[in-house]
Amino acid sequence: MAIILQVALDFVDLHRAINVARESLDGGADWLEIGTPLIKSEGMNAIRHFRKLFPRTTLIADMKTMDAGRAEMEMAAKAGADIAVVMADAPDSTIKECIEAGKNYGIKICVDCINDFNIEDRAVAIEKWGATYVGVHAAIDDQMYGKTPFNSLRRISDKIRIPIAVAGGITSENAVDAVNAGASIIIVGGYITKSENVKAAAESIKRSIRENQKIPTTFFKRATHEGVRQALEKLSTANVSDGSHRAKGITELYPLYQNIKIIGNAVTVRTYPGDWAKPVEAIDVAKEGDVIVVDAGGVGPAVWGELATHSAMQKKISGVVVWGAMRDVAEIRKLKFPAFTKMIMPTAGEPKGFGEINIPVYVSGIRVNPGDWILGDDDGLMVIPQSSADVWINYGMDCLEKENRIREEIASEKSSLGKVIDVLKWEKE
Ligand SMILES: O=C(CO)[C@H](O)[C@H](O)COP(=O)(O)O
């Protein structure tokens, strides 16, 4: 079987899905998948629409069926799908019902192994029951934790003879790995559907498969703990907040200049009003790339100034955040040292040595632990827990990628945000 490129249209709006479908086909996509979000949002009418618009294209209904297999396959078939998807986690009876219904209504069945249960035995049973395809799949949420479908693929590729579909974070960089590991249907969602140039993205997957080579991509890759800093360079604080269920950022602190960016692990300092000893000592504790976060109680006198800034720059520290006051700001601005402060004043305090370094502190009510990632820009500051930074960042990247696509749709369709995302449709009744 020739390698198939199946584009997963995981949209909630029909018009966006249709535009992306057209562009994907122009780029060489073979099959179109009516994604689960589209089916949930528009029902079987989504499939009917696609059938009418694309009469000769193979359409997959990603029903993700878990029960009542016969009824769901019948609906998908009657709406015009060629293939429908049931979950491998569903009861055996449901999968068998789907396969039987498929024979009755002239629709092929793909069984999606989205979870890591005993996948070898399950795939063999699914083949024996008569499914046409087996899918291996890293769920979108699992992708944020670094999961890929490749391990599952390797586990079953020599156990079954029916074609294997692979999904979950496939890009032009790894599509070829999927083919070489035994997949014959390459399902691509975000890499194509969130791309600013859908046609070019589809073409790049086809080319990577044809030429058996990896084509590098900047977006649509998920970060590991080692890649956090690099990923944060692409993200805004707004992306990170959106990605983490609108997590609260630090408010009441202001950047000393515009177009600012701070990225680094926190070296925390608790000090007392005007006592600049611990902030200065923290410069010697911090490593290159760290951010010094000072809790001075949100009041003056100043605990940070020009000389501290010069020392921090010598050590290549990434920036400073002061829940209190700073001075010499004209000089700090000239040095372009990333700094956020609550207050600016000429008066400094005395170095008394009260307080601690590298203990949990609170900045404007937000807890900062030593080592937490700090991301700052013109919108403010986000504190990202160190232990789950990869997940926060991956969800943030997902938001950034979606926005990149929406921006492109507003421009190319000379449209508005409200129209592109059909905002009225989603208002509460
Ligand atoms: O079925 C899906 C989610 O359950 C997606 O369609 C599938 O994962 C492909 O999307 P992506 O390439 O963005 O992972």
Q: What is the pLDDT of residues 2-15, one digit of tens each?
A: 999 999 999 999 99
Phi, psi values for residue 175, rounded to 5°: -60, -40
- The pLDDT-based confidence of 192 (bands split at 50, 70, 90) is very high
Is 417's pLDDT higher than 80? yes
Q: Which positions make up the binding site for substrate?
A: 305-308, 327
Residue nearest to atom 6 of ligand 1 (CA): 8
Say how far residue 231 (Cα) sits from the centre of its chain. Answer: 11
Interval 149-164: pLDDT, tens:
999 999 999 999 999 9
Residues near 371 by Cβ (< 8 Å), separated by ≥ 6?
Answer: 265, 266, 386
Is 1's pLDDT higher than 90? no
Task: Quote the pLDDT of residue 116.
Answer: 72
- The pLDDT-based confidence of 239 (bands split at 50, 70, 90) is very high
Give ligand 1 pocket residues (Cβ under 6 A).
8, 10, 35-36, 62, 139-140, 167-170, 187-191
Average pLDDT, the chain: 97
Q: Give the ligand 1 atom nearest the CA of 188.
A: 12
Q: Which positions make up the binding site for Mg(2+)?
A: 328
Ligand 1 centroid vs 168 CA: distance in angstroms? 5
Ligand 1 centroid vs 144 CA: distance in angstroms? 12
Interval 54-94: pLDDT, tens:
999 999 999 999 999 999 999 999 999 999 999 999 999 99
Is 363's pLDDT higher than 80? yes
Interval 300-347: pLDDT, tens:
999 999 999 999 999 999 999 999 999 999 999 999 999 999 999 999
Percent pLDDT > 90 in the chain is 96
Task: Quote the pLDDT of residue 213.
Answer: 97
Q: Which amino acid type is present at position 309?
A: T
ipTM exceeding cut-off 0.90 for this assembly: yes
Task: Quote the pLDDT of residue 108.
Answer: 98
Residue nearest to atom 9 of ligand 1 (CA): 189
Ligand 1 centroid vs 270 CA: distance in angstroms? 45
Ligand 1 centroid vs 298 CA: distance in angstroms? 46
Average pLDDT, stretch 254-281? 98
Average pLDDT, stretch 166-180? 98
Ligand 1 centroid vs 290 CA: distance in angstroms? 36
Q: Which domains, from first to last, does the chain contain?
A: 4-210 (3.20.20.70), 226-390 (3.50.30.40)
Percent pLDDT > 70 in the chain is 100
Q: Give the ligand 1 atom nearest the CA of 187.
A: 9
Q: Give the ligand 1 atom nearest the CA of 35.
A: 6
Interval 208-225: pLDDT, tens:
999 999 999 988 999 988
- The pLDDT-based confidence of 349 (bands split at 50, 70, 90) is very high
Residue nearest to atom 10 of ligand 1 (CA): 189
Instruction: Tell me how crowded residue 266 is: count the other CB atoms within 10 A of its CB.
Output: 25
- CA separation, residue 151 to residues 63, 105, 119, 174 (Å): 24, 34, 10, 13
- The pLDDT-based confidence of 168 (bands split at 50, 70, 90) is very high
Is 203's pLDDT higher than 90? yes
d(CA 238, CA 188): 27
Ligand 1 centroid vs 397 CA: distance in angstroms? 15
Average pLDDT, stretch 366-379? 98
- The pLDDT-based confidence of 202 (bands split at 50, 70, 90) is very high
Ligand 1 centroid vs 65 CA: distance in angstroms? 15
Residues near 167 by Cβ (< 8 Å), separated by ≥ 6?
Answer: 8, 112, 135, 136, 137, 138, 149, 187, 188, 189
Q: Sign of the CA dihedral 51, 53, 58, 59?
A: negative
Buried b / exposed e along 214-235 (16+ C-beta atoms within 10 A): eeebebbbbbeeeebbebbeeb
Which of 140, 188, 405 should be mutated for ligand 1, with most atoms under 8 A from CB? 140
Q: Give the ligand 1 atom nearest the CA of 8.
A: 6
Task: Quote the pLDDT of residue 429.
Answer: 81
DSSP one-letter code for 140: H
Interval 89-109: pLDDT, tens:
999 999 999 999 999 999 999
DSSP one-letter code for 286: P
Residue nearest to atom 12 of ligand 1 (CA): 189
Task: Quote the pLDDT of residue 117.
Answer: 80
Task: Quote the pLDDT of residue 225.
Answer: 87
Task: Quote the pLDDT of residue 428.
Answer: 87
